[in-house]
Structure 1
Amino acid sequence: MTILLIAEHDNHELKGATFPTLTAARQISQAGGGDVHVLIAGHDARAVADAAAQLPGVTKVLLADAPQLGEGLAENVEATVLTIASAYGHIVLPATAYGKNVAPRIAARLDVAQLSDITAVVDANTFERPIYAGAAIATVQSADPVKVVTVRGTAFDPSPASGAQATVETIDAAADVGAVRFVGRELTKLDRPELTSATIVVSGGRGLGSGENYQRVLEPLADRLGAALGASRAAVDAGFAPNDSQVGQTGKIVAPQLYVAVGISGAIQHLAGMKDSKVIVAINKDPEAPIFSVADYGLSADLFEAVPALVASLG
């Protein structure tokens, strides 16, 4: 059956998580047959629909444009999806905060099991997903008439942003559910790359000792590399770094080209969020730290000496 991809966007442009999610949707399509449709649920979002129509492999874009969809409230997005869900065999979303908010509601209303955080497509009904903080990979199969699937973006290559021209069809949005009201949104403005989309990430752990050291030691390195700043849960819990910088099972999942772990021991919960990085560099004074088991390059040294020396060598 046809696959419905619910795109994540801000009413102006598609979010980066949509592109690897499309790759997964196309793999499902190739395995089981059927077209890929994209739903744009928003307000004044015609430009986003036109951009989605250019995505390779997409045969139709459905645009639900209404004020109640403008802020992406999960209850209203869910209600709109339910009006068209019967036409689809798979409903696919990115495993982001947005997708994790919307997908369970859809699955519950359809009375089907959700397939969460998939990392590989075996066939149209069978998928791989990590369990036990990534220590094991489960192969799961669903016989539900509609599969509600969230996709771990770091596990799939992003789809190109153009190369096709699908049709855009306007559909009616469901009425405002009325159960929630948008009050406000506080956006963090970053001078650095966004953590989940950065090609280089520098992360610090409890070994830094304080928030002052986190800034003093890591920021010069991140500046030289043009990197995003991350942190382990221990560093966040200790107040060294803000919550939105946490990398790990209960934080953000990243897979940059280069991941530099400074003063991070390498607990399994942290490894679950960064072990798919292309190159991992670890700096830790404990030669037995678990982080060295996944590192491509490891330096057992005092980080307060090693990191400034590394910054100096970078010119």
Structure 2
Amino acid sequence: MTLLNKALLNVGLVGYGFAGKTFHAPLISACPDLSLHTVVSTRPEAVHADWPEARVVPDLATALADPEIDLVVIATPDALHAEQAEAALNAGKAVVVDKPFALSLADARRVVDLADEKGLFLSVFQNRRWDADFLALKAEIASGRLGRIVTYESHFDRYRPVVRDRWREAPGAGVWQDLGPHLIDQALNLFGRPEGITCDLAIQRDGGLSPDRAHATLRYDGGLRVVLNAAMLIAAPDVRFAVHGSRASFLTSGLDPQEDQLKAGMVPGAPGWGVDPSPPTIVEGETGARTSAPGPAGDYPAYYAAVAKAVRGEGPNPVPPSEALMVMEVLEAGMISSREGREVAL
């Protein structure tokens, strides 16, 4: 039976830490075209507490040897992404990789080349393209209400003063690799590749082992400047988006609700799912008038719905490898910029 006519695609989820448990397993299970068939984890009791019918295997090789698995979703620590994606592709599986795609642009390119060689589906999980506030912003830009965009600020700030013992905060990791891919992907989705990037990474918390503050400026032709900020010592994270155009500004605060809804156990797509509790505000340039501008509800389930269609050849890849590589290019250029204290051309 080919994937083109298979009624239900079986998914092997690799890893059941925060990303696998909070995002991937619920979203996969909510997709009517996908089945959470197998979870690769050394903690079967944790998986079965949430998904009693899922098969749990202790290693990736066992999952890849199963001909029933059509799609492999990699939700493991960043350092394993490229190696595990290559193994899944070599086993003939379609692959979704959680962000960041890989530790380096070279590793990411190697994975993409292998997918091309094998003729297999490959995508990177960029769920925040379906944040409620980002969907509202895209709609306002497309409508022309804001005019020509001249300044775009995107913040992913938190107050987490205590350094935690986890791989995301270990040496070699940090907020640029963890949150930077979200910020970069959204900006590139709107404006494409910039001309250059200037980035500053810093450790601000006592006992910090990796950068917990990232501030980057992407330079575009025509005067557009894109400012991206992620930090862990912001007690007043009042700004999420501050986007200024020749006609009006677009302002939001707070984060999209879907992550908290998933943490609380809400079933994706349930009543109230993705509804922004703090709709954006539009400030008119000529009058200064402020109006609320509610947009569509956030829609993380749309990613896996599109993946299922794309694997069957019925629709486009929601996050194609070319776009994932562009994010990696900007991410890596930002690290070079911070290290060398200069703008890096792209």
Q: Fold-level match, TM-score > 0.5?
A: no
TM-score (norm 1): 0.34
Q: TM-score, normalised by structure 2?
A: 0.32
